[in-house]
Amino acid sequence: MTDLQKHLREYISDAGPILEKLKTQVESCRSETPNDDVLDDIFRHLHSLKSGAAFFQLSEIEQHIHSMESLFSDMKGAAGTAQFSSLSDRLYQGLPLLEDLILTRVLRPDGESEEGESLFPEKETEEKRANEAIELSVFEKQLLREAEDRGETLFRLSVQIDPEERLPYVRSYLLLNNLELKVNVIRTLPSLDNPDQDFSNLTFILTSEDGDDPVFQAVNVDGILQTSLVSLDYSLFSDDDRGETKYSETLIKESLAPVIRKVELETDAVSRLKDTLHEMKEIVLPLPPGLPQRTPLLGLIKEMEENLSAVSLIPLTSLYPNLRRFTEESAVRVDKKAVTEFRGGLFGLKIRTLEIVSRILIQLIRNAVSHGIESPEERLAAGKNEAGLVLIDARAVGDSFRIDVSDDGRGVNRMAVAEKMGLPLEDLDEDHLLRILTRPGFTTSPKVDRLAGRGIGLDLVNHDVENALGGSLSFTSKEGQGSRFSIYLPGQRDLLPLMIFQMENRLLALPKRNVAGVFPMEEVHVIKKEHNLLYYEISGDQLPLFSPGGMLSRRQSSIDTPYILVLQHLGRKAALPVDDLVMEKEVPRESFYLGQQKEPFLYEVTLSGEKADFLYLSPGLIG
């Protein structure tokens, strides 16, 4: 049995309990209007079943659930009216057929497939028909011919967006951005021209000069539930008469979770090393000041921390080759010419920051090529070079960074913006203009092209700069001369995540990585073992109970706290009874210092030169 067949069986197995929940919830709607939580659950269950059906190409099931979703939408809109009950009846009547489609027609009740049939009958033929149903334009076929001549590999990428994703269109748009930076995307299904379509399942026809690695790097984003990458033969989309069509597909990889990049694994390893050094510091600090080894050891730890911070940053210049190619290929897609120049960018960024900056730059390049840079004919008539210029100028400014993305195109047509907004032209200073351009859905483009015109790109840029990076965005433009976006980013700080909690009338903090979980305290799970020592049972595991003073015993006062915090350290786990969970807080490592040792495992903390209002509890408490 292939992995895909196993996943289909899992889908069908999971569908049984979901259908039972749907029956119960929809049945309750027939007699009374439930609260919003129940209605939200019904929607999630239907959408989850439909997403799975779409991924496994169970079109009859998918279409039936789609009809049920439409009916449910009407039903939800009628909440509180007499029509709600009758619509609930109709929805309930559709459930037996859905159950029959999933549990009977796909699998027999005994769990075996129909006699003489596989879970994917004639799968190769069906997939071939699916490919042939993707009709490429003349331009797209030309792109394929050029890619074949360059020796690139042709792929079909299938992606399922997580049903819990609240903004599937935005997630799809960001995924397309990632792909276009690394590979040559020929066709996207469904097209992103219409944001009102169902984007739970996406198909990309693409080519890559570097094999499948760039593809899996691009799909490593949040909100992706499943991916499948298949290598195709170019003859599938060829008009050439080559005799019998060579049908060839090779499944490269299927994944039920995003593929983690090597660089991210390395970044995680660096983070763990930093935490290990922090623990080493906890061991060295209590040593007597007169001990000869104490000062050299602390010096070595500090040097190692600085070196690890340096290697965990990736220079912005690492993006430049792909950005250059993306600019040129984007221009070709809209019958223009454009080149990219780069200045600076030798400073390093954390991997997560670099990913966000990458998609910001992609969108600003896309915007410049689509809206700013003119056609070769227009540029020559205006006395410009026929190829437009996109300039990326990046530099450090003190502890912060500034990245300018400018073009030498036509600039923003302020009159068109003013007319669309119904504003006097004189009211459009550049700050006001930027606020308008970054509004969701705003565009002055009369049509949607292959790059832009949907009114979503600059809104995403502004959101990423301000919310994801904590920076700011500015804008300037001169008609006939071009536009410039300036991104201001705060310095890259190495943060230590802490869990702050109250215990024994004191405010304490632990590294968040050492917290395995938090659970409600239930006295029934407290167990007395040998030597009167106390343990707490969680999910079958009996964990020793600790306070900052050590293991708790029956001789000590009774445990009366609302929470149990599970602490993990060097392969061991223990339970801490805590009075309150105050907050999770990230503090800059460079300003975090352990001070005087108050008790064997408790330290005063200094943050940016000031004494913190909490004590640091060393995870070494549990051994």
3-state SS string over 527-593? Answer: EECHHHEEEEEECCEEEEEEECCEECECCCCCCCCCEEEEEEECCEEEEEEECEEEEEEEEEHHHEE
For residue 5, what pLDDT is reported?
59
Is the pLDDT at 109 greater than 60, yes or no? no
Round to the nearest angstrom and report the end-to-end CA distance of the chain.
46
Peptide bond into 190 cis (omega under 30): yes
Tell which wins on pLDDT, 544 or 238: 544
For residue 564, what pLDDT is reported?
93
Going by C-beta distance under 8 Å and a sequence separation of 6 or more, which residues neighbour residue 497? 511, 512, 513, 584, 585, 586
Among 54-58, 196-200, 358-362, name the one with the lowest average pLDDT: 54-58
Is the pLDDT at 455 greater than 50, yes or no? no
Is the pLDDT at 2 greater than 60, yes or no? no
> CA–CA separation, 573 vs 551, rounded Å?
12
For residue 312, what pLDDT is reported?
67
Average pLDDT, the chain: 79
Tell which wins on pLDDT, 518 or 307: 518
> Token pair of 169, please?
């269109």
Average pLDDT over residues 63-78: 82
The angle at the Cα of 190, spanning 187 to 195, to the nearest 5 degrees, equals: 120
Is the pLDDT at 13 greater than 80, yes or no? no
Sheet strand arrangement including 201-208: 184-189, 201-208, 153-161, 224-232, 249-255
Is the pLDDT at 243 greater than 90, yes or no? no
